[in-house]
Amino acid sequence: METFKLIMLSTLALVMVISAVMAVLSKEMPLAILASGAISLLASIFFLVLASPDVAMTEAAIGAGLTTFLFFVILRKTDQNNHENEK
Amino acid sequence: MKNSIAIVLILVFGVFLFQTFSYYQTKTELNKTASYYNTNTPDEVGAANVVTAIVVTYRGLDTLGEVTVLFLTAMIVGYILRQGGRERQKKNNTSEILITAAQVLIPGSIILGVYVFINGHLTPGGGFQGGAIIGTAISLMILANPLGTIPKAVLHFTESISGFVYILLGLAGLLFAGGFLDNRILPLGTLGDLLSAGAIPLIYSLIGLKVGTEISSIIANINETGNNTSKP
Amino acid sequence: MSFTIDKVALLLGMSLMMIGLWGGFTQRNLLKIILSFGIFDTGLNILIVALGYLPGRTAPIIEGIVVTPENLVNVAIDPVPQALVLTAIVIGFGTTALMLAYALKLNQHKKSLDINEFKDLKW
């Protein structure tokens, strides 16, 4: 049972590291922003396994919810500025 | 910075980090600070959530600093983006699903946020989590109705009154109980009730309202800024 | 050495910190740099919370069935790193919001998000 839990957590950690590399290296911005939102969500699961429900709730609400939304709003505003300049 | 120099620097940093990892041993007993907090929280503070007791009373000055940092952030974002002028949306092309779902989700989210920060001393949660949930609800309101505006006067009034009453409660703790931001100005009650742990429900409700309105004002300011780059 | 959960979390936190710093050093788009700092913050918070874990114990919240006020010292983990990380996550969000507002103003002036365009302060 303990080794099963350890294997599951190692798989989760591997997915997080791959998402981080994908977020840094990708050429399209929406993919990078969604990858960083996925990292925050999986980190919230990690906090729950490490017996901290307060920190898990805060990371899920602020990291996966508000930061991703804020990035998308700024992305839309800068795309609007750059596109109406090119016309 | 060139790619090769960056990788060399990161590897040096990694060597230091993994050196710390090799000295790490899994603990089996709590250290002295943690065992003090774990033995004395039910008697001195009366809260069932030990992390809430630490954040609000034992280390209350750190929470005051954090509230100050968030207040400065909201103020600076509002000041910088004021020069761009206002931008009005010309047409409303949000989809039908978003408008209909927002009418159900927004009241539910606000009630969930208020529940989380009122029960901060009994269950996991508290002021910061509840404030973030309220901020998310008001962001949904901005997304679903881009033609309308958020009433700025209500947000500013709520934020100012919450911060002011928080400082007044801290000073009342200095006058009537042990020190600044002490929670024994109200009676402690029995462990596990809603109206227990002294002034902790009141303090956390004020912090929750303040954080929620600050996050909403940051997002409203970023959404409404225009494109005017003339110098003042 | 025996592999427990907090050792996995420690390695994960260190890897995320290194990847976040690498992104901050080599990327050219301003929004990518801010995103990499966000990944660095997440890794750092995982590292701090993993330092307070004790195997076989549960969260420090009194419920009356598993955790009672008398045996809180024997069945609960260290509550201090959780209080510190709670503050750190909220302040990290505030810093990210401020950085994004600055990036928006810089974009309005120079019409591009490439960091090599901003040479006004170079001598």
User: What would the pLDDT profile of B181-216 be if each residue is shown by its tens digit?
Assistant: 888 888 888 787 888 888 899 999 999 999 999 999
Check if the beta carbon of residue B31 is closer than 8 Å to that of residue C81. no
Check if the beta carbon of residue C100 is closer than 8 Å to that of residue A71. yes
State pTM to two decimals.
Answer: 0.92
Residue C5 C-alpha, separation from nearest chain A C-alpha, in angstroms: 7
- For B108, residues 6+ apart whose C-beta sits below 8 A from its C-beta are none
Q: Cβ of A5 under 8 Å from any chain B Cβ?
A: no
Cβ <8 Å between B136 and A58: no
Question: How does pLDDT run across C55-103, given as a tens digit for each residue?
Answer: 888 999 988 888 888 888 888 999 999 999 999 999 999 999 999 999 9
Total of domains in chain B: 1
**ipTM of the assembly?**
0.91
Report the CATH number at residue C87: 1.10.287.3510
Cβ <8 Å between A53 and B124: yes
CB contacts, 8 Å: C22 with chain B: 6-7, 10
pLDDT for B133 beyond 60: yes
For B88, what's the count of Cα atoms within 13 Å in the CB-facing half-sphere?
2
- For A17, residues 6+ apart whose C-beta sits below 8 A from its C-beta are C12, C15, C16, C19
> What are the phi and psi torsion angles at B81 (to 5°)?
-85, 5
Report how far apart the first and last C-alpha atoms of chain C are (Å, whole number).
54
- Contact partners for chain B, using 3 or more CB pairs closer than 8 A, are A, C
Residue-range definition of the domain harbouring residue C85: 5-54+73-116
* Burial class of C112 by CB neighbour count within 10 A (0 to 12, 13 to 18, 19+): middle
Cβ <8 Å between C87 and B222: no
Question: How does pLDDT run across B142-185, given as a tens digit for each residue?
Answer: 888 877 777 888 888 999 999 999 999 989 888 887 778 888 88
pLDDT at position B205, please? 92
> Given pLDDT bands bounded at 50, 70 and 90, which one contains residue B3?
confident
Q: For residues B142, B144, B147 and B148, what is the CA-based torsion angle, rounded to 10 degrees?
A: -50
In-domain check, residue C67: no
CB contacts, 8 Å: C95 with chain B: 73
In-domain check, residue C100: yes
Q: Where are the alpha helices (DSSP H) in chain C?
A: 5-26, 30-50, 72-75, 80-110
Average pLDDT over residues A34-48: 95
pLDDT for C105 beyond 80: yes
In-domain check, residue C68: no
> Given pLDDT bands bounded at 50, 70 and 90, which one contains residue B2?
confident
Instruction: Name which of C47, C37, C49, C50 is nearest C91 in CA terms.
Output: C37
CB contacts, 8 Å: A84 with chain B: 227
Question: How does pLDDT run across B48-82, given as a tens digit for each residue?
Answer: 899 999 999 999 999 999 999 999 999 999 998 88
Q: For residues B119, A60, B137 and B108, what is the CA-based torsion angle, rounded to 10 degrees?
A: -50
Q: For residues B40, B41, B43 and B44, what is the CA-based torsion angle, rounded to 10 degrees?
A: 90
Cβ <8 Å between C87 and B229: no
Residue A6 C-alpha, separation from nearest chain C C-alpha, in angstroms: 7
Residue-range definition of the domain harbouring residue A6: 2-86
CB contacts, 8 Å: A81 with chain B: 227
Average pLDDT over residues B2-30: 90
Residue C62 in tokens:
């009194």
Total of domains in chain A: 1
For residue B56, count other CB atoms closer than 10 A to its CB: 28
Look at the alpha carbons of B21, B25, B28, B33 in this order and tell me if their dihedral is positive or negative: negative
CB contacts, 8 Å: C60 with chain B: 38, 49-51
CB contacts, 8 Å: B7 with chain C: 22
Kindly report the average pLDDT of chain B as a whole number: 87
In-domain check, residue C85: yes
Round to whole Å and give the CA distance between C3 and B90: 59
B225 SS3 class: strand
Q: Cβ of A69 under 8 Å from any chain B Cβ?
A: yes
C58 SS3 class: strand
Average pLDDT over residues B88-99: 78
* CB proximity under 8 Å: B 19-38 to C: 21, 24, 26-31, 33-35, 37-38
pLDDT at position B230, please? 62
Check if the beta carbon of residue C99 is closer than 8 Å to that of residue B222. no
B34 SS3 class: helix
Cβ <8 Å between C104 and A51: no
> What are the phi and psi torsion angles at B49 (to 5°)?
-105, 110
- Contact partners for chain C, using 3 or more CB pairs closer than 8 A, are A, B
Residue-range definition of the domain harbouring residue B142: 49-71+101-225
